[in-house]
Amino acid sequence: MRLSANHHNPDGDTFQGAQLGLPKLPDHGSREQFLLLKEWIRVCDSTHETCSRLNTDKPGQKPVSAMPTRLVDLGNPLRLVESGGIKPSPYVALSHCWGKTKTLCTTTKSITEFRESIDLNSLPETFRNAIQVTRGIGIQYLWIDSLCIIQDDRDDWEHESAQMEQVFSLAYCTIGASSSRSSVQGFFPNRVPRPCVQLERPGIGRLYVCHNIDDFNRDVDLGELNGRGWVLQERALSRRTIFYTTTQVYWECGAGVHCETLSRLKK
């Protein structure tokens, strides 16, 4: 059960054994949802020492300016760029299930075209959702494995797959498409609003009582994405991840887990 007041603590303090939070979640891709994501990032950047980027003063550590060989530039036009030709910039990495349906890939034939432009409408729904989220949090570059690795070039694939540790560990953040079984499905599922009961409590004001949906183990640990072979590496290496699940959005970093309902789960 969840209690929600008109004014609540974003850290999710308990109230007589019940968690405080939002009974109604913002729409996927909405301004309100992106404001919440950016606030999670701001708090993480400013207060979580465990999530800070690598200290470049320490010998043997890679500089924070290191980027993957290729990135998708989310400007106009949308296109594939070589990181050696752009200034060091933050990027977002996508962790997703390919699924059984053939997805759009970069090949030796398409790479020249993709360097000029990529038709947004030709991309599978998961990629378009990832672009929307990346733009929504104010980042220009996105790494997607099937687009940033030349899939029919064995030398390129072997070289880039060996760089996966760097790709995810140095990403600004990772998007985990936990609710999607394939790249064509997308990770903005339709969410059924939870029924709520309105209460008036003296001295506190209006409250709404609804079912508690905060279950990180069910939604993320046991979600679709965790059935993918690479995901353990991607999740372990990522400094912080935004998980899109069937019930809500979760933020995971070194300090714990934040829920879209505004509650907080500590590790």
Per-residue pLDDT band for 133 (boundaries 50, 70, 90) equals very high
Q: Which of 261, 237, 2 is nearest to 143 (CA)?
A: 237
The pair of three-digit structure tokens given for residue 161, joined into one six-digit string: 């797959």
pLDDT of residue 22: 75
Q: Which amino acid is at 235?
A: R
Segment 11-33 shows an average pLDDT of 73
Q: Which residues lie closer than 8 Å to 173 by C-beta, 6 or more apart?
A: 41, 92, 93, 137, 238, 239, 240, 241, 242
| Greatest CA separation for the chain | 69
pLDDT of residue 5: 37
pLDDT of residue 229: 67
Domain range summary for the chain, segments of one domain joined by +: 1-25+192-212, 27-49+62-190+216-265
